[in-house]
Amino acid sequence: MSLSNRITTLTPDASGGWELFFRARAMIDAGEQVTELTIGEHDIRTDTRILDEMHRAARAGHTGYAAIPGIAPLREEIAARVQAATGVPTTLDNVVVTAGGQAALFAAHVATCDSGDRALFIDPYYATYPGTLRGASATPVPVKASPDSAFQPDPADIDAAAADGAASLLINSPNNPTGVVYSRTTLEGIAEVAQNSDFWVISDEVYDTQVWQGDHLSIRALPGMAERTLVVGSMSKSHAMTGSRIGWIVGPKEAIAHITNLSTHTNYGVAGFVQDAALYALRQGPGFEEEIAAPFRRRREIALDILAGQNVVRAVPPQGAMYLMLDIRATGLSGNAFAEKLLDTHRIAVMPGESFGKAASGHIRVAMTIGDDAFAAALKSLVAFAAAQI
C-alpha cells in the first residue's frame, strides 16, 4: 500500500523552496529578534467593522450550510465590481465563491486541464503554482520572463511553449513576486497567442487594488477573451482578510456551473457568516480598499528614496503588489546566498528570488509588511550589507 503519485510529487523538493522562511520562523520561535520581510501578510489585522459583521451574521444564525456557489448578494456584488472595473458584462452566473484565491487556482485548473495536459505558467511565479498544477494532474510548464525585460512575459516565448500543446496559461498581474504590472502590449500579445493556440487563460488578479504605477488591465476585457478566461480574485490582499479564506472565480457561465459542481464535491461552500462579512467589506467601496493599500504605497516611496542613493541594489520597477523585487547580482551572490548571509549577520529575513523560479536568480523579494520606520531601517541595513559584499 502506498500514497498516490499525485500527492507525493506535489512539491518535489518538499519545502517548495522556502527553507529560509522556515529557518527564520524557527529563530523567532526560539526567541531571537528577526525582522521578517518574507510573506505577504498585512501588518494590520482585519478591520473590526468587518469582524463585527462576521460576528453579527454568525450570532444571527448564518452558521449552517451556505449556498455552494456563494450567496446571491455576494456574487452580485462581485459581478458588479468586476463589471465596473473592466467594462465586461458580468452577472452572478459568472461568479463562484471559493475558499480563498488558492482554492480558486486549483479549481480553475481542474476545470481546464485533463490529466497530463500541459499547463503553462510564468516564471518567476508565486510559490504554490507548480504544486497546484500537479495537484490538478496537469503537467507544469514554466515560461521564463526575463529580468532584462523587467519580467514582462514575451508572447513569443509563450507561443513557443504552446507549440507542443497547452490547455491553459496562468498569469498574475499585478505580479507576485516581481511587483510588475503587465502592460497592455504584453496582455494583447498573450491574448493573441491564447486564441491562436486555443488554450484557457487563468488570470490571478488578487493584487488588483494595489497598483502604484500605470493601470491594471484584466485580460478578460480584451476582445475574444471573456469566453476563454477564468479570473481569480480574493479578499485576502484587498481587504486584509487573509485568514477568512474567501475568494472567487469569474468566467463563462458554463465553466462556472461546472466549478460549482466541483465545489459540491470538495469544500461544499464557504461559511455563510464569512460571506456576509465579505459582502459588507466589498460594499465599503474603493475608498476602503485604498486605505488597506495605503501603507504599501507609502513604503514603496520610502524604498525608492533609499535605493536612489546607491547603485549596488537595483529595484525591478515596483508597479504593484506589496513586494519589492531587488536585483543583487552586483554583489556576486546568488539570491539564496545573499538572503542566508543577511539573516545570519543582520537578522533580516527576505525571500531568495530562486524560491520563485529560475528567472529570478540573483534577486531577492522584500515584503513591505512592517511599520514604516522599521521597514526603512531594515532596507538601509540591507543596502549597506550589499555594498559591503563588493
Query: Is 3.90.1150.10 the CATH classification of the domain at 5-45+287-383?
Result: yes
Fold entry, domain 62-284 = Aspartate Aminotransferase; domain 2 (3.40.640)
CA–CA distance, 27 with 69 (Å, rounded to integer) = 42
Which cell numbers in the block locate residue 379?
532596507
The pair phi, psi for residue 97, each rounded to 5°, is -85, 140
Q: How many CA atoms within 13 Å lie on the side-chain side of 317?
A: 15
What does each C-alpha distance from 139 to 113, 121, 132 come to in angstroms? 9, 11, 10
- Res 13: pLDDT: 75
| pLDDT recorded at residue 18 | 81
* Cell 504605477 belongs to residue: 213
Closest to 388 (Cα-Cα) out of 332, 350, 334: 332
H/E run at residue 80? helix 72-86
CATH 3.90.1150.10 residue spans of the chain = 5-45+287-383
User: Which grid cell sits at 46?
Assistant: 482585519
Rounded Cα distance between 94 and 98, Å, is 13
C-alpha cell at 387: 555594498
Write down the pLDDT at residue 281. 98
Distance of alpha carbon 228 from the chain centroid: 20
Q: Among 129, 89, 94, 127, which Cα is nearest to 109's?
A: 129
Query: Looking up cell 550589499, which residue turns up?
Result: 386
Query: How many Cα atoms are found within 13 Å in the side-chain-facing hemisphere of 302?
Result: 20
The structure's pTM equals 0.96
CB burial class (10 A; 0-12, 13-18, 19+) of residue 30?
Answer: exposed
- pLDDT tens string, the chain, 390 residues long: the values are 999 999 999 988 766 668 899 999 999 999 999 999 999 999 999 999 999 999 999 999 999 999 999 999 999 999 999 999 999 999 999 999 999 999 999 999 999 999 999 999 999 999 999 999 999 999 999 999 999 999 999 999 999 999 999 999 999 999 999 999 999 999 999 999 999 999 999 999 999 999 999 999 999 999 999 999 999 999 999 999 999 999 999 999 999 999 999 999 999 999 999 999 999 999 999 999 999 999 999 999 999 999 998 999 999 999 999 999 999 999 999 999 999 999 999 999 999 999 999 999 999 999 999 999 999 999 999 999 999 998
Q: Cα separation of 238 and 204, whole Å?
A: 13
28: phi then psi, degrees, rounded to nearest 5: -65, -45
Query: Please, what is the end-to-end C-alpha distance for the chain in angstroms?
Result: 55
Cβ contacts of residue 118 below 8 Å, gap of 6+? 138, 139, 141, 161, 164, 165, 166, 167
Is 206:320 a contact under the CB 8 Å cutoff? no
Q: Is 64 exposed, middle or buried (0-12, 13-18, 19+ CB in 10 A)?
A: exposed
Q: Residue 349: phi, psi to the nearest 5?
A: -105, 120
What pLDDT is stored for residue 309 in this prediction? 82
**Phi, psi angle pair for 91, to nearest 5°:** -120, 175
Sequence-ordered list of residues with C-beta below 8 angstroms from that of 285, at least 6 positions apart, any chain:
none
Give residue 15's pLDDT: 63
CATH 3.40.640.10 in the chain is located at 62-284
Residue with cell 491564447: 194
At 16 the pLDDT is 61
The confidence score (pLDDT) of residue 290 equals: 97
